[in-house]
């Protein structure tokens, strides 16, 4: 029996996934979590074979939770769920150790197949994601230069984009409904991860990486 933990902040999504998996005799959803800390706490109790993890979570986003889950449970298969276009987060999730990446628009058969595959220790990669992975490789099959901003979490990436566009900390805090202190913390992390020292260097970094910001 494959025991699954679903982490998604929308109850209706969790119910939908649970229903999709209910017809599989070899899969059972044994726990649900509405945010990252709750999911990590449940994982520490043991007995979970596959984690279905949403990327867009409140507070700590799914990529941050993925990092910690991989640190604490390196052999646990994590299947990322997202409503975002595959090109935005799929490769990043896999580079951080996810076993697969699945769009929430997938049908029940694909969800079931994905859970079974990652539970066997294999990766679940759709044709679209496979193309994205191929594009991330060099001509000889070696991994291409990975942009430093690929290390940013979803929220850090949002702040990075605003900073590169010239927005102030106060403006970003207002637009993203965050406190100025929180945005300042994100800014400090972004500067560290991208190897830049100030907003000017950050903007130049964005231009060099041709992010179209």
| pTM beyond cutoff 0.85 | no
Half-sphere exposure of 202 toward its Cβ, with a 13 Å CA cutoff?
24
pLDDT band at 144 (very low <50, low <70, confident <90, very high): very low
Question: Domain 148-208 adopts which CATH fold?
Answer: Arc Repressor Mutant, subunit A (1.10.10)
Predicted local distance difference test score (pLDDT) of residue 142: 46
Question: Do 186 and 157 meet the contact criterion of CB atoms below 8 Å apart?
Answer: no
The span from the CA of 78 to the CA of 33, in Å, is 14
If one looks up domain 2-135 in CATH, what number appears?
3.40.50.2300
Strand 2-7 vs strand 50-54: parallel, antiparallel, or unpaired?
Answer: parallel
Q: Matching CATH topology for 2-135 and 148-208?
A: no
Residue with tokens 């260097």: 201
Q: What is the pLDDT of residues 153-210, one digit of tens each?
A: 778 888 888 888 788 899 899 988 889 999 999 899 888 888 788 877 787 777 776 4
SS3 107: coil
pLDDT band at 43 (very low <50, low <70, confident <90, very high): very high
Query: Domain-by-domain residue ranges, the chain?
Result: 2-135, 148-208
Mean pLDDT, rounded, for 56-82 = 91
Which contacts qualify for 124-133: CB closer than 8 Å, 24 or more apart? 124/79, 124/99, 124/100, 125/94, 125/100, 125/101, 126/86, 126/101, 126/102, 128/86, 128/90, 129/86, 129/90, 129/91, 129/94, 129/101, 132/86, 132/87, 132/90, 132/91, 133/91, 133/94
User: Which residue, 36, 59, 33, 35, is CA-closest to 155?
Assistant: 59
Task: Kindly write down the DSSP assignment for every residue of 172-211, as one continuous string.
Answer: HHHHHT--HHHHHHHHHHHHHHHT-SSHHHHHHHHHHTT-
């Amino acid at each position: 029996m494959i025991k699954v933990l679903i982490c998604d902040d929308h109850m209706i999504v969790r119910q939908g996934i649970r229903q999709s998996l209910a017809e599989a005799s070899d899969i059972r959803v044994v726990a649900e979590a509405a945010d990252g800390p709750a999911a990590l706490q449940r994982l520490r109790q043991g007995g979970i074979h596959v984690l279905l993890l949403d990327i867009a979570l409140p507070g700590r986003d799914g990529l941050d939770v993925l990092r910690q889950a991989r640190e604490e449970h390196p052999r646990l298969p994590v299947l990322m769920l997202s409503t975002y276009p595959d090109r935005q987060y799929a490769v990043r999730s896999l580079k951080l150790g996810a076993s697969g990446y699945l769009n929430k628009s997938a049908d029940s058969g694909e969800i079931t197949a994905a859970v079974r595959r990652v539970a066997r220790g294999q990766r679940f990669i759709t044709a679209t994601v496979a193309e994205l992975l191929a594009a991330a490789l060099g001509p000889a099959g070696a991994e291409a230069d990975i942009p430093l901003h690929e290390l940013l979490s979803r929220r850090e990436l949002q702040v990075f984009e605003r900073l590169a566009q010239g927005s102030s900390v106060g403006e970003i805090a207002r637009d993203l409904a965050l406190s100025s202190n929180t945005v300042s913390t994100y800014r400090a992390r972004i500067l560290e991860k991208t190897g830049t020292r100030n907003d000017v260097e950050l903007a130049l970094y964005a231009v060099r990486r041709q992010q179209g910001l």
